[in-house]
Structure formats: C-alpha cells, structure tokens
Amino acid sequence: MKYSDLLNITQEYGNPVYVYDAEKIISQFNRLTNAFKTVKKLKLNYAAKALSNLTILRLMNNLGSGLDTVSIQEVKLGLLAGFKPESIIYTPNGVSLEEIEEAAALGVRINIDNLSILEQFGSKHPDIPVCVRINPHVMAGGNSNISVGHIDSKFGVSIHQIPHLLRIVELTKMTINGIHMHTGSDILDIDVFLYASEILFETAKNFKELEFIDFGSGFKVPYKDGDIETNIEELGEKLSKRFNEFCKEYGRELTLAFEPGKFLVSEAGYFLAKVNVVKQTTSTVFASVDSGFNHLIRPMLYGANHQIINISNPKGRERYYSVVGYICETDTFANNRRINEISEGDILCFKNAGAYCFTMASNYNSRYRPAEVLWHKGQPVLIRERETFDDLIKNQIDVKDLFEAKNQKAAVK
C-alpha cells in the first residue's frame, strides 16, 4: 500500500483507524503453504485471537484455512464466518467443563490441556475424540512474556505426566486423535523448535489412532528494518522431511497442522493516528496522538517495537520524538524514536498492527474503539464501524429512580 492510500483512508473513515492489506495476508498464507509443499496433508488453522474480525475470518476461510479458537465465542464467530465445524479446533485454557461440552456439541475439534478436564470429559463423553496439548518444557520463543513451553507454564500436560495421561485414556476408553504443542511466540532458533518436535513425535507413538499432529505456531515476523525473523523455508524443509519420516514409522499419513496468527496478519496491519500536540519539555519532544494503549497496548504490555512513520511528511528531516497517547496514564508508544519531522495534524502510521492490536483494544477512559478497514484489490472496504457514545452505554442500565427516591426523602427531611 502507498502512503497516499493510507492518508486517503483517514480522510474517508476518520482516525484513529486500523487498515489491513488483504494481498499481504494472502501472500503470507501462500508462503507458509509452499514451505511445507512436500507434506501430503497440511492444515493451517488461523489463530482467531490475533485478529477476529468477521471479514478477516471469511478471507481465511476462502483461502482454505482452518480456524484455531480459544473461546466458545471465537468458535461461534468461526461458524458465523462460514467455517465448517470440523475445520475448527478449540484449544482453550482453564475453562470449565461446561464450555468444552458446549463447543463439542457444535461439532468442532476439541483440544484439552490438563488432566483433570481430560478425565472428566473422557468419563462423560468417551465417544468424542479429543486432541491433547503437551507441554514439551522447551522455550523456542524469544520473549519470556509470550513463551508458553517452559516448565512452569499454565499451558499443556507436562511430558512427565504422560503415564498418567495414558492411564486416563485406558480407563475412560476415550480416543486421542491429535497431539499438540505450542512453545510460544517469536521462534528464533529452528533447531530448538525441531528438538521440541522430536519430543512431540516420541509422545505421539503412545497413541495409535492419531489423525494429526499440531505444532502450534509462533513464527517471528520482522518489526523493524533489519529485524530477524523465523526462516520459514528452512523450517519447512527440515520439519517436512522429519514429519514424512515419522509418518512412515507410524504406519499411515497424518496431517501436519499449524495455527499461525501473527505470521499471517501482523505485517498486513497499519494503525493510523493523528498528532494532536507536539510538546517540548526540558529534555524530550513529545508527539501526542489521538489514541493510547486503549487502542494499541502491545508497546506497554510487551515492550513491542512498532515502527512509526510520519506518512504526512515521509521525506522530512528526522528528529527524535517520544510518541505518547491521550490516556490519563502513562501510555508510551515509543521513546526517543527517530521519525521524520512531526507537526500537529500529521498522521503517524504504526506498522505491524495486524496481530493482537485491535483484538486487545478497550474502552478505557471511556474512549471509543476505532474503525477497521480492509484494503482489497486496490480499494478500501469498511469492515467495522467506529464506535459511538451509544455503543459505550449500550449494555449499561441507568437506574435513575434508585437515587431520585433517596434524594426526595432527603429533601423532605
């Protein structure tokens, strides 16, 4: 997309606004598919939590993707977007047995990550096959906040608990149709990921009725110029070879599954915000925008580095700015960042805003969540309207009489 296209979108739909490039999503999907082209059965299950807009889900379904969901609400969104139940895998964490049963009743694939629920579900529903999430105790991700394969993680059944898991399966007579792991986001070391995969292969040998092995995701994408990223082609070549070997050992072709989220949508996303104030203090120049961590929390929550470009003055002289928001609390997007000279009214573009950005937005400070636009075949398409005051109070109950009665009594006295 051109900067002029982004500026035109702010003119048409206002700001702040999220914009997603459909062609980038498609190219990332094709890149990942091609990396594993030597595997006979490959299934990419898009992680809905990354960006759950219905139109984005429909795009993924149109590409032939399955859907990875973590809540009953995401399951229902997937069904509404046209996914077949069997193309949806439900991988919750810490939810009730009742929610899992509700998902199972909708016909989606079930992935269970703890022994307690596994035993309860298997005892009540032995005829419903389930996948089991394994914790390999391997961290392949670079950020401790988003690595979930370590030994103290709340996710997954420990590999040291496999004997207990097998006892539950034997006693309940349930069927395990899949084995799953997710080591965390920002995979940097392919060899470490392959080591974790070997643990998963070894675990899979304990189950004779598998249909698929799910290797999670967490592929790192570049967030700035020169940034490192997961070498998908190298991973595809090495893991495909080992997976095909395992299928021969196992005795039949299994499906190799992934659940990419960030890899598919992160680089496709742009967040556009207008500069309200340029403020000089004794040591810092602040550029304050009409947004805050209510719209884009990743920099404050994870220390994420989103490249910021002044698309109103992309060739201007670079100066140092700290970009901050309008929330009545510290909400810093970037400290002392070199950005083309900023004037009040300029539009700043935050890159890599497709994954875990709008989905984490809130109404903090009673601010409205922004609009979302899909750039499709050279044209902008509005896929979520900007919130209004009516949206803000929609589910609130204004019990006026509760206090009016008390005020009337006080007046009488």
Among the listed residues 263, 264, 268, 330, the one whose alpha carbon sits nearest the alpha carbon of residue 293: 330
Structure tokens belonging to residue 256: 């190799």
> Under a CB-based contact definition with an 8 Å cutoff, are residues 116 and 94 in contact?
no
- Rounded distance between C-alpha atoms, residue 230 and residue 187, angstroms: 6
> Under a CB-based contact definition with an 8 Å cutoff, are residues 230 and 187 in contact?
yes
**Cβ contacts of 296 within 8 Å, gap of 6 or more:** 271, 306, 333, 350, 353, 357, 361
146-192, pLDDT tens digit by residue?
444 445 678 899 999 999 999 999 999 999 999 999 876 567 678 88
Residue 349 annotated among the catalytic residues of the structure = no
Query: According to the model, what pLDDT value does residue 157 have?
Result: 92
- Angle at which helices 115-124 and 162-172 pack, to 10 degrees? 10
Dihedral of the alpha carbons of 48, 103, 36, 228, in degrees to the nearest 10 = 30
Q: Is the dihedral of CA 138, 141, 144, 148 positive or negative?
A: negative
Beta strand 157-158 pairing with 130-135: parallel
> One of 131, 328, 349, 357 is an active-site residue; which one?
328
Q: Tell me which H or E stretch contains 322.
A: strand 318-324
What structural domains does the chain harbor? 36-260 (3.20.20.10), 269-393 (2.40.37.10)
Question: Measured in Å, how far apart are the chain's first and last C-alpha atoms?
Answer: 69
Tell me the HSE value of 106 on the side-chain side, using a 13 A CA sphere. 25
- The partner residues of 258 in beta bridges, in order of sequence, read 44
Q: How far is CA 175 from CA 67, 94, 127, 214, 377, in A?
A: 22, 22, 7, 16, 45
CA 55 and chain centroid, separation: 16
* pLDDT beneath 70, residues of the chain: 139-152, 184-186, 188, 405-413
Q: What is the pTM of this model?
A: 0.93
Q: Tell me which H or E stretch contains 111.
A: strand 109-112
> Under a CB-based contact definition with an 8 Å cutoff, are residues 109 and 118 in contact?
no
Tell me the HSE value of 171 on the side-chain side, using a 13 A CA sphere. 12
Dihedral of the alpha carbons of 330, 333, 334, 338, in degrees to the nearest 10 = -130
Query: According to the model, what pLDDT value does residue 155 have?
Result: 87
